[in-house]
């Protein structure tokens, strides 16, 4: 289970490992670790074993030849899986069995992935700690007293704890990158539109993107290559055949694995000074700047610059994401599916009670915030202004990418917090998103990968950002950096002989 | 002295567009199927589903916009209108508020020979909701989502109408334009066209509008006329007695002939409109628009001019025939098959209108084919059948769309053209009716009618009356 997804895929292909053995190994590990980690909402063991047999046959017959054929995967619980509970870690969907499978998940299935189960998350992906789940908090494999980050905390913890080689997460304001950083693994948030959102239960529709979480850059690039395809069912899905026009931006292609080269000579890397001001932990700062030095030594041209607009990202993000969420979550009303209150007097009472009982505090907070900013009289002052801010943030990035291939900085101002620390102070939790939310507002791609440890031995994440449809530059830079260090698994696992 | 009042009316007209599939998914729009059979994750609002715009809806909306002289918004957007109701699976309706597809149009109407323009404020695209069915046995409500996602356009007029007659003329105008475009069948009674009436009254001469009400649930032109009259009187009564008209939505009950308030707009819910992030802006290129313009079929006003020039039939006939696209289609097809325009027009104006009344059939629902009407006209022209038989055969065409040649053949209705046989019969009739013969010879021309009638009777109607007349006169003049 120490293998990466691609390494395991090679062994399966070579006949050295049977798919069933790989699946069983995952299930055994989940059995051993779940009481400590709680990374999964649902483990679909029996069905996974059945799938394993079928996929093994297809591999043996030469029907499946891809790099991830037979490799087990875990899916964040906000992506629809036909016949399998998809709860968004919410009480209101605690009985929801979808009738169809999300497009990104289908792509993995077609490539021979075996779905082990569905991973825990902050309720409806609203949170940065995976503590707001109806199914209980997920623990960080590096230190179970700490949070794994969020909202894809279950996916990041499952990969970190080696319960699965890789997982899918979703990122609306940092929900792939921040938990990857907190758990010492790697994750990519692709350009908005790269991966179909069809079947991803929406939080902030204009910001949501599905992406991979794995142990290394190679795995992430390989997974992204599979799930990144145009989908007619998603109007915002990017069609490479039609290309992209606007702002002189060019699609550098979706053959991401071709960017896995240890060469950054002449690559221009910018470090925003405004990312290292007040609030950043000294150990985080140190590790990130050391990573920049590594790239510099490898021949990259690294310099500091002022990005601008940084302080406006959080308010703009929370207005836009909450506004969209307030509308997206209206369909959860107890009428068609999901939780319905047991006693009610009339229709409106049923709505009110089902939603009051079905949603948790953080979700209610954002629905209220979103409803407020969209209400008449406030729409222009908040929502329209936030959209204008979003455009300015995008422009700030465009200006930066006119000079640099890649922007380098931290993923979060701190490493993983102690459990309970941010639940009591939502505003503090929101401020932790300062380096990630602007990326979603701008729609650009970002990668998060481990770059060291703080004084408590908790992993620090390095964030590399690229221009729209230029995942390849950040994959190349990340890969080159990764080549300079060894992958570190959580010490607690080694200590316990796991 | 009592004051005189003017009624000010604006309309919001919803039209269901005749696309094969729904506006945001591939489900069929077919009407009357078993509940929830034409549904998918998108039109039932399943979590994670996403809307994808049906381009056919845009084309039909643009076609209506062009035909009503609107400016087309070449970069239009969809917005979400948020409100909770069980027939609305997402609890928001995808509609257009900020950038509707058409704006600033106008259509010309004519009432009592007076022409005027009714301006169109905007036309926007939106999705229809599902249907709630209350089950009294279990005291529960069920939802049928077959209609959920059926495309609609809403045509919003300016408050330019002043009477029920103008309202009906405007609706008729819209109906004909849209039917001719093939964009919808526009049936009020089936709900494919729905009109909400915004009405206020003011003293004649006043330049300010009074407080308006919106009346819904109007399922026929008659109901609309009655509701307008009723609402006008209600508002005048309120004003005369010193009360105020409340801005509200009212529901018309056509059997009881009165309206009652549905909900007050003052405490109206806030729909929290915002651009739908799941849909991209609809870009209508010049080229696309030109294509739609080029493919616009001939509309009614153009047809009227052409009929006059090409067929030289009376204006009255032209009006009736073009008042329904279906009838105009039958008319043109029959002519294309070789029938004389005048003859076709006569059949439509006289026999068709009579049978429509007798069978309560609307012109839009005429089910017979132009081919059979043209064949019937040819049979009459070639004197294969006479007028009386033709009417009998036409009834069969009207109800069952039978092939007239086959029918005439099978039922032995062909006129007997054997002159010898006919002469023999006439000679017998003449011999048997000496009194009538004598009357005729003494100058009573009418007496010949009796003899023709007797001959037709003896021939079981299968003779050409003209021919009978000719032979009779020959014999009697001997």
pLDDT over 70 for what percent of chain A? 99
Q: Scan for tokens 């651009």, then name that residue.
A: B275
Catalytic residue IDs of A: 76, 151, 175
Q: Residue B90 and residue A331: Cβ atoms within 8 Å?
A: yes
Q: By C-alpha distance, which of A150, A108, A104 is closest to A131?
A: A150
Question: Which residues of B make CB contacts under 8 Å with A?
Answer: 41, 44-53, 80, 82, 84, 86, 89-92, 143, 270, 272-274, 277-280
Q: Residue B52's closest chain A neighbor by CA?
A: A235
Could you tell me the two tokens for A10?
């090679």
**What pLDDT, on a 0 to 100 scale, did the predictor assign at position B264?**
53
Rounded Cα–Cα distance for residues A194 and A189 (Å): 10
Distances (CA, A) of B130 to A28, B70, B202: 48, 30, 38
β-strand partners of B72: B102
Rounded Cα–Cα distance for residues B324 and B393 (Å): 24
Domain that holds residue A18: 5-266+403-495
Pick among B23, B49, B270 to test the A interface (most A CBs inside 10 A): B49
Q: Residue B274 and residue A233: Cβ atoms within 8 Å?
A: no
Q: Residue A200 and residue B48: Cβ atoms within 8 Å?
A: yes
Rounded Cα–Cα distance for residues A427 and B267 (Å): 34
Q: By C-alpha distance, which of A476, A472, A438, A445 is closest to A189?
A: A445
What residues contact residue B205 under an 8 Å CB cut-off, 6+ apart?
none
Q: Is A471 contained in some domain?
A: yes
Distances (CA, A) of B8 to B105, B203, B210, B245: 19, 10, 8, 14
pLDDT of A449 higher than 90 = yes
pLDDT over 90 for what percent of chain A? 92
Q: By C-alpha distance, which of A260, A175, A254 is closest to A211?
A: A175
Backbone angles phi, psi at B325, to 5 degrees: -60, -35
Q: What is the H or E stretch that residue A393 is in?
A: helix A385-403
In chain B, residues with a C-beta closer than 8 Å to the C-beta of A234 are 50, 52
| Minimal CA separation from B12 to chain A, in Å | 22
**What pLDDT, on a 0 to 100 scale, did the predictor assign at position A277?**
85
Q: Residue A232's closest chain B neighbor by CA?
A: B52
Quick one: how far is CA A452 from the chain centroid?
Answer: 20
Comparison of pLDDT for A43 and B446, the residue scoring more? A43
Rounded Cα–Cα distance for residues A221 and A327 (Å): 33
pLDDT in tens, A286-305: 999 999 999 999 999 999 99
Whether the Cβ atoms of residue A320 and residue A361 lie closer than 8 Å to each other: no
Q: Is A387 contained in some domain?
A: no
Rounded Cα–Cα distance for residues A134 and A93 (Å): 10
Tell me what the mean pLDDT of segment B404-418 comes to: 82
Backbone angles phi, psi at A260, to 5 degrees: -80, 70
**Tally of domains in chain A:** 1
pLDDT in tens, A83-111: 999 999 999 999 999 999 999 999 999 99
Q: Residue A207's closest chain B neighbor by CA?
A: B277
ipTM score here?
0.95
Lowest pLDDT segment from A167-176, A424-433, B254-263: A424-433
Rounded Cα–Cα distance for residues A363 and A326 (Å): 9
- Closest partner residue to B47 (CB to CB) among A80, A233, A327 is A80
Tell me what the mean pLDDT of segment B242-254 comes to: 92
Q: By C-alpha distance, which of A12, A40, A45 is closest to A28?
A: A45
Predicted confidence band of residue B433 (pLDDT cuts 50, 70, 90)? confident
Q: Is A242 contained in some domain?
A: yes
Whether the Cβ atoms of residue A85 and residue A50 lie closer than 8 Å to each other: no
What residues contact residue B280 under an 8 Å CB cut-off, 6+ apart?
A235, A236
| Minimal CA separation from B96 to chain A, in Å | 16
Q: How many CB pairs under 8 A join A and B?
A: 96
pLDDT of A428 higher than 80 = no
Comparison of pLDDT for B263 and A21, the residue scoring more? A21
Could you tell me the two tokens for A459?
């992993």
Residue spans of alpha helices (H) in A61-152: 103-110
Alpha-carbon torsion angle A448, A449, A452, A454, nearest 10:
40
In chain A, residues with a C-beta closer than 8 Å to the C-beta of B84 are 330, 333, 348, 351
Q: Residue A236 and residue B278: Cβ atoms within 8 Å?
A: yes
CATH of residue A57: 3.90.1300.10
β-strand partners of A176: none
Q: Residue A197's closest chain B neighbor by CA?
A: B48
In chain A, residues with a C-beta closer than 8 Å to the C-beta of B46 are 80, 98-100, 337
| Minimal CA separation from A109 to chain B, in Å | 18
Q: Residue A335 and residue B143: Cβ atoms within 8 Å?
A: yes
pLDDT in tens, B38-84: 999 999 999 999 999 999 999 999 999 999 999 999 999 999 999 99
Q: Is A374 contained in some domain?
A: no
Tell me what the mean pLDDT of segment A306-325 comes to: 96
pLDDT of B168 higher than 70 = yes
Predicted confidence band of residue A392 (pLDDT cuts 50, 70, 90)? very high
| Minimal CA separation from B57 to chain A, in Å | 16
**What pLDDT, on a 0 to 100 scale, did the predictor assign at position B413?**
79
Q: By C-alpha distance, which of A397, A348, A242 is closest to B280?
A: A242
Mean model confidence pLDDT for chain B: 91
Whether the Cβ atoms of residue A122 and residue A150 lie closer than 8 Å to each other: yes
Could you tell me the two tokens for A472?
């390849």
Number of helices and strands in chain A (H, E): 16, 11
Rounded Cα–Cα distance for residues B278 and A328 (Å): 10
Whether the Cβ atoms of residue A197 and residue A205 lie closer than 8 Å to each other: yes
Q: Scan for tokens 């334009």, then name that residue.
A: B177
Number of C-beta neighbours around residue A212 at 10 A: 31
Q: Is A307 contained in some domain?
A: no
Q: Residue A375 and residue B270: Cβ atoms within 8 Å?
A: yes
Q: Residue A333 and residue B274: Cβ atoms within 8 Å?
A: no
Q: What is the H or E stretch that residue B223 is in?
A: helix B221-240
**What pLDDT, on a 0 to 100 scale, did the predictor assign at position B263?**
66
Whether the Cβ atoms of residue A25 and residue A1 lie closer than 8 Å to each other: yes
Q: Residue B48 and residue A234: Cβ atoms within 8 Å?
A: no
Rounded Cα–Cα distance for residues B470 and B478 (Å): 13
pLDDT of B335 higher than 90 = yes
Dump the DSSP string for A45-82.
HHHHHHHHHHHHHHHHTTS--STTTT-EEEEETTB-BT
> What length is written for chain A?
498
Predicted confidence band of residue B429 (pLDDT cuts 50, 70, 90)? confident
Q: Residue B53's closest chain A neighbor by CA?
A: A235
Q: By C-alpha distance, which of A181, A158, A150, A178 is closest to A88?
A: A150
pLDDT in tens, B212-240: 999 998 989 999 999 999 999 999 999 99
Q: Is A367 contained in some domain?
A: no
**What pLDDT, on a 0 to 100 scale, did the predictor assign at position B68?**
97
Distances (CA, A) of A229 to A105, A107, A309, B327: 12, 8, 32, 51
Q: Residue B48 and residue A198: Cβ atoms within 8 Å?
A: yes
**What pLDDT, on a 0 to 100 scale, did the predictor assign at position A386?**
98
Q: What is the H or E stretch that residue A481 is in?
A: helix A471-482
Predicted confidence band of residue A314 (pLDDT cuts 50, 70, 90)? very high
Q: By C-alpha distance, which of A215, A107, A100, A213 is closest to A154?
A: A213
Q: Residue A233's closest chain B neighbor by CA?
A: B52
Tell me what the mean pLDDT of segment A12-30 comes to: 97
**What pLDDT, on a 0 to 100 scale, did the predictor assign at position B442?**
82
- Closest partner residue to A336 (CB to CB) among B45, B48, B50 is B45
Q: Is A199 contained in some domain?
A: yes
Predicted confidence band of residue B436 (pLDDT cuts 50, 70, 90)? confident
pLDDT of A406 higher than 90 = yes
What residues contact residue A49 under an 8 Å CB cut-off, 6+ apart?
A20, A23, A24, A27
Q: By C-alpha distance, which of B362, B361, B363, B352 is closest to B395?
A: B352
Tell me what the mean pLDDT of segment B253-266 comes to: 80
Please give the order of strands across the beta sheet that includes A72-76. Answer: A40-43, A114-119, A72-76, A166-171, A209-214, A186-189, A446-453, A459-466, A406-410, A268-272, A301-305
| Minimal CA separation from A121 to chain B, in Å | 16
- Closest partner residue to B272 (CB to CB) among A234, A336, A374 is A374
Question: Residue B276 burial (CB < 10 Å; 0-12/13-18/19+)?
Answer: buried
Alpha-carbon dihedral sign for residues A359, A363, A369, A373: negative
pLDDT of B1 higher than 70 = no
Mean model confidence pLDDT for chain A: 96
pLDDT in tens, B268-298: 679 999 999 999 999 999 999 999 999 999 9
Q: By C-alpha distance, which of A172, A196, A204, A170 is closest to A329?
A: A204
Predicted confidence band of residue B465 (pLDDT cuts 50, 70, 90)? confident
Lowest pLDDT segment from A152-161, A240-249, A427-436, B466-475: A240-249
Pairing state of beta strands B258-264 and B248-253? antiparallel
Q: How far apart are the first and last CA of chain A?
A: 10
Rounded Cα–Cα distance for residues B473 and B478 (Å): 9
Rounded Cα–Cα distance for residues A44 and A236 (Å): 31
Number of helices and strands in chain B (H, E): 16, 16
- Closest partner residue to A205 (CB to CB) among B53, B143, B278 is B278
Please give the order of strands across the beta sheet that includes B71-72. Answer: B71-72, B102-111, B114-127, B151-157, B5-16, B193-203, B213-216, B248-253, B258-264
Q: Is A482 contained in some domain?
A: yes
pLDDT of B266 higher than 60 = no
Could you tell me the two tokens for B446?
């009418």
Predicted confidence band of residue A498 (pLDDT cuts 50, 70, 90)? confident
Rounded Cα–Cα distance for residues A472 and A190 (Å): 10
Q: What is the Cβ-side half-sphere exposure of residue B218, based on CA atoms within 13 angstroms?
A: 31
pLDDT of A388 higher than 90 = yes
Between B465-476 and B419-432, two packed helices, what is the crossing angle to 10 degrees?
A: 60
Pairing state of beta strands B79-82 and A459-466? unpaired
| Minimal CA separation from A294 to chain B, in Å | 40
**What pLDDT, on a 0 to 100 scale, did the predictor assign at position B265?**
46
Q: What is the H or E stretch that residue B226 is in?
A: helix B221-240
């Amino acid at each position: 289970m120490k293998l990466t997804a691609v390494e395991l895929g090679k062994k399966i292909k070579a006949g050295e490992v049977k798919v069933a053995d790989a699946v069983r190994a995952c299930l055994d590990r989940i059995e051993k670790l779940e009481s400590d980690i709680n990374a999964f909402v649902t483990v679909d063991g029996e069905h996974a074993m059945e799938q394993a047999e079928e996929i093994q046959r297809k591999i043996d017959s030469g029907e499946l030849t891809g790099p991830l054929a037979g490799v087990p995967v875990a899916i964040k619980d906000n992506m629809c899986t036909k016949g399998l509970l998809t709860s968004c870690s919410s009480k209101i969907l605690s009985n929801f069995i979808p009738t169809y499978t999300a497009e990104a998940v289908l792509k993995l299935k077609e490539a021979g992935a075996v779905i082990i189960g569905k991973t825990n998350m902050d309720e409806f992906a609203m949170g940065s700690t995976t503590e707001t789940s109806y199914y209980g908090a997920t623990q960080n494999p590096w230190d179970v007293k700490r949070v794994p980050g969020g909202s894809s905390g279950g996916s990041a913890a499952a990969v970190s704890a080696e319960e699965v080689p890789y997982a899918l997460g979703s990122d609306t304001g940092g929900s792939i990158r921040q938990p990857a950083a907190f758990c010492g693994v790697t994750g990519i948030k692709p350009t908005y539109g790269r991966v179909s959102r069809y079947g991803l239960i929406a939080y902030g529709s204009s910001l949501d993107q599905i992406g991979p979480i794995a142990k290394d850059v190679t795995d992430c690039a390989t997974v992204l290559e599979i799930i990144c395809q145009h989908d007619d069912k998603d109007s915002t899905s990017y069609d490479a055949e039609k290309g992209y026009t606007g702002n002189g931006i060019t699609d550098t292609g979706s053959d991401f694995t071709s960017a896995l080269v240890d060469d950054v000579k002449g690559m221009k890397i910018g470090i925003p000074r405004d990312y290292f001001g007040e609030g950043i932990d000294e150990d985080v700062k140190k590790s990130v700047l050391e990573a920049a030095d590594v790239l510099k030594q490898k021949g990259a041209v690294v310099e500091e610059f002022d990005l601008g607009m940084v302080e406006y990202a959080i308010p703009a993000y929370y207005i836009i994401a909450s506004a969209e969420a307030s509308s997206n979550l209206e369909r959860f009303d107890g009428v068609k599916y999901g939780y319905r209150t047991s006693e009610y007097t009339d229709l409106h009472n049923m709505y009110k009670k089902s939603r009051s009982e079905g949603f948790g505090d953080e979700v209610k907070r954002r629905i209220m915030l979103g409803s407020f900013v969209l209400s008449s009289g406030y729409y222009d002052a908040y929502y329209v202004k936030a959209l204008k801010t979003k455009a300015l943030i995008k422009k700030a990035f465009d200006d930066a990418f006119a000079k640099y291939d890649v922007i380098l900085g931290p993923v979060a101002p701190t490493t993983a917090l102690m459990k309970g620390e941010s639940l009591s102070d939502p505003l503090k939790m929101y401020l932790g998103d300062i380096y990630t939310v602007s990326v979603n507002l701008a729609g650009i791609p970002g990668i998060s990968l481990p770059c060291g440890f703080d004084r408590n031995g908790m992993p620090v994440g390095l964030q590399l950002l690229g221009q729209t449809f230029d995942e390849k530059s950040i994959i190349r830079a990340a890969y080159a950096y990764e080549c300079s260090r060894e992958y570190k698994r959580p010490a607690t696992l080694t200590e316990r002989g796991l | 002295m009592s004051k005189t009042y003017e009624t000010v009316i604006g309309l919001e007209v919803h039209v269901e567009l005749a696309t094969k599939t729904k506006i945001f998914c591939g489900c069929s729009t077919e009407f009357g199927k078993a509940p929830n059979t034409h549904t998918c994750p998108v039109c039932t609002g399943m979590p994670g589903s996403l809307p994808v715009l049906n381009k056919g809806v845009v084309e039909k909306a643009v076609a209506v916009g062009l035909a009503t002289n609107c400016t087309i918004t070449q970069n239009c957007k969809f917005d979400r209108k948020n409100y909770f109701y069980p027939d609305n699976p997402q609890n928001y309706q995808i509609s257009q508020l900020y950038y509707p597809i058409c704006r600033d149009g106008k259509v010309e109407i004519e009432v009592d020979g007076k022409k005027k323009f009714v301006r169109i404020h905007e036309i926007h695209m939106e999705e229809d909701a599902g249907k709630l069915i209350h089950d009294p046995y279990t005291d529960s409500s069920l939802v049928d989502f077959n209609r959920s996602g059926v495309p609609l356009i809403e045509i919003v007029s300016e408050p330019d109408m002043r009477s029920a007659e103008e309202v009906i003329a405007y609706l008729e105008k819209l109906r004909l334009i849209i039917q001719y475009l093939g964009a919808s069948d526009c049936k009020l009674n089936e709900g494919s066209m729905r009109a909400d009436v915004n009405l206020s009254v003011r003293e004649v001469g006043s330049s300010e509008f009074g407080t308006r009400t919106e009346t819904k649930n109007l399922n026929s032109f008659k109901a609309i006329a009655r509701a307008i009259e009723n609402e006008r009187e209600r508002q005048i009564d309120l004003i005369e007695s010193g009360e105020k008209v409340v801005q509200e939505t009212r529901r018309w009950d056509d059997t009881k002939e009165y309206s009652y308030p549905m909900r007050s707009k003052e405490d109206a819910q806030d729909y929290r409109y915002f651009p739908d992030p799941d849909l991209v802006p609809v870009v209508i290129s010049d080229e696309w628009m030109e294509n739609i313009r080029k493919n616009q079929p001939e509309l009614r006003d153009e047809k009227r001019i052409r009929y006059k020039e090409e067929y030289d039939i009376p204006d009255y006939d032209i009006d009736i025939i073009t008042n329904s696209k279906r009838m105009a289609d039958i008319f043109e097809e029959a002519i294309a098959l070789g029938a004389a325009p005048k003859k076709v027009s006569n059949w439509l104006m006289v026999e068709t209108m009579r049978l429509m009344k007798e069978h309560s059939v609307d012109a839009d629902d005429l089910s017979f084919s132009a081919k059979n009407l043209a064949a019937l006209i040819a049979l009459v022209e070639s004197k294969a059948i006479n007028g009386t038989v033709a009417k009998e055969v036409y009834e069969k065409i009207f109800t069952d769309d039978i092939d007239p040649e086959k029918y005439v053949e099978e039922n032995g209705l062909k006129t007997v053209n054997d002159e010898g046989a006919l002469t023999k019969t006439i000679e017998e009739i003449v011999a048997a009716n000496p009194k009538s013969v004598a009357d005729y010879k003494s100058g009573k021309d009418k007496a010949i009618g009796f003899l023709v009638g007797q001959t037709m009777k003896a021939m079981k109607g299968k003779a050409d009356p003209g021919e009978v007349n000719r032979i009779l006169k020959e014999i009697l003049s001997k």
